[in-house]
Chain A
Amino acid sequence: MMDPMHRPQYRSFRLVAAIVAVVSLQTWAGAGKCVSQDLTTAFGAFDLQKVSEVCSQPDDALWRSIPWNISLIKGQNLAAERKQPIFIWAMDGHPLGCT
């Protein structure tokens, strides 16, 4: 087990955070705003399966069906072989990851 960073000021911070979380949940529920099952799950019994489902990108997402190359050289070689143009998606941060 890691050595937790037990600083006295953070004990009170955690207590306040816990109170705020409970009050927030009650406020949302009381205001009639939908407290979703996801939110309940997040703070109730952990359901790893549920988290994996909501955080997964569907395999059939169209952008995932595109045969992206992540090497420009390999892409060029393939384009030369197929006699096709290269389409380059160049971003700040990698387009397939990062965000």
Chain B
Amino acid sequence: MIDRASTFSDPDIVSLLKKDFVPVAIDQAYQRRQKDTEGDLYRKIASQSPRNNFQSTTQGLYIASPDGTLLAFSNNRNPRRVQAMMEKALRDFVPHDFQPVVAVSRDDRYNPEPPEGGLVLRVQARVLDGYGETGDRTQRIFQQAVSRDNMWITAGEHNSLARGVVPGEFVERMARFHLVDNTRGEPPMWKKGEIRHMELTCRDGSISGRIELETDDGSRGYQAAITGNYSVDDEKIVSLEMAATGLFYGEGRFTRNAPDGKFPLAVYFQLADGSDIADRIPPQGSRGWVDGYLNP
């Protein structure tokens, strides 16, 4: 989130990316493990950087020639340093004829696709209030952040929802993996036993319900009311939006600096139409365990 709102919102960097580079955004935890053509290309590039141990994170910014030659690497996302890195790479880059890489293998473990016949919902969360004043620019970005994730719905759940029947797996997936405060980083997901109450109904185009979550030690929780609407055409859901709002408390290892005490958090769900490249990103909760995500 912080990079989207800082480095990649810098006009000079955006201009350079659009004019002189082919920008690629990837989850390195997948790419470095993939046993296929794409993984081979990624490891070829990353192995020339200091991040050449593929048993641990290779997070960073890489600039490479189309033949896989590394031109620059940095894990510092300060906009001015990134811009300097880009400009140096452009000076070092020698354009000539390059061969396109042909994918001869694909590791399906790391290329999950949305369930066929199912739905994708965009999920965006925001802390509505409760932060103290800050003069720190980074903290300000976090405090105003809107997160972005996707929720996958299976074909069977889609059919049920279109008939006004709410499958338990759908509600549980929504609760455990999407009613999270992911506005400051990767959040802890909820365990099955941390669902204290869940109910959701769909009737005559309206959605309503209530979900309560809390860790056993009481350090993190969320009590949310759910409201929304949907429409069905030819037994298919053609529109759906839904909001969870309520009081959240606590934080995770990578979501520090939450407001003190209980604070209002809203999570908004909307049927994705595929117009946003991010609609194709697998849900965060599915990383490394798609079956566990789809069958919570």
Contacts and interface: CB of A to CB of B under 8 A. Distances in A.
B99 A42 contact: no
Interface in B115-135: 124-126, 128-129
B200 A38 contact: no
B11 interface: yes
Tell me the interface secondary structure of chain B in the complex: mixed
Contacts of A32: none
B63 A70 contact: no
Contacts of A62: 8-11, 14
Interface residues of A, number: 67
Contacts of A80: 66, 98-101
Interface in A30-86: 34-36, 38-39, 41-43, 46, 48, 51-52, 54-57, 61-63, 65-73, 75-86
Given A24-B261, A51-B243, A68-B24, A63 B61 contact: no
B182 A72 contact: no
Given A70-B280, A86-B24, A38 B198 contact: no
B66 A87 contact: no
Contact of A70 (B26, B66, B125, B166): B26
Contacts of A83: 66, 95-98
Contacts of B184: 99
A94 B27 contact: yes
B4 A95 contact: yes
B30 to A, nearest CB: 8
A67 to B, nearest CB: 7
A14 B266 CA distance: 19
Nearest to B149: A97
A13 to B, nearest CB: 7
Given A4-B199, A14-B223, A72-B26, A84 B21 contact: yes
B281 A94 contact: yes
Nearest to A82: B22
A73 B103 CA distance: 7
A21 B185 contact: no
Given A4-B199, A56-B124, A96-B278, A88 B45 contact: yes
B65 to A, nearest CB: 6
A66 B268 CA distance: 24
Nearest to A96: B278
A69 B68 CA distance: 17
A67 B26 CA distance: 13
A54 B246 CA distance: 15
Interface of A: 1-7, 10, 13-14, 17, 20-21, 24, 34-36, 38-39, 41-43, 46, 48, 51-52, 54-57, 61-63, 65-73, 75-99
Interface of B: 1, 3-5, 8-11, 14, 17-18, 20-29, 31, 37-38, 41-42, 45-46, 57-66, 68, 71, 86, 89-90, 93, 95-101, 103, 124-126, 128-129, 146-150, 166, 168, 171, 182-187, 195-201, 209, 212, 214, 223, 225, 227-229, 241-243, 245-247, 261-262, 264, 266-268, 270, 277-278, 280-284, 287
15 contacts: A2-B166, A2-B198, A46-B225, A52-B268, A55-B268, A56-B268, A70-B24, A72-B26, A76-B22, A80-B100, A84-B66, A87-B61, A90-B59, A94-B25, A99-B1
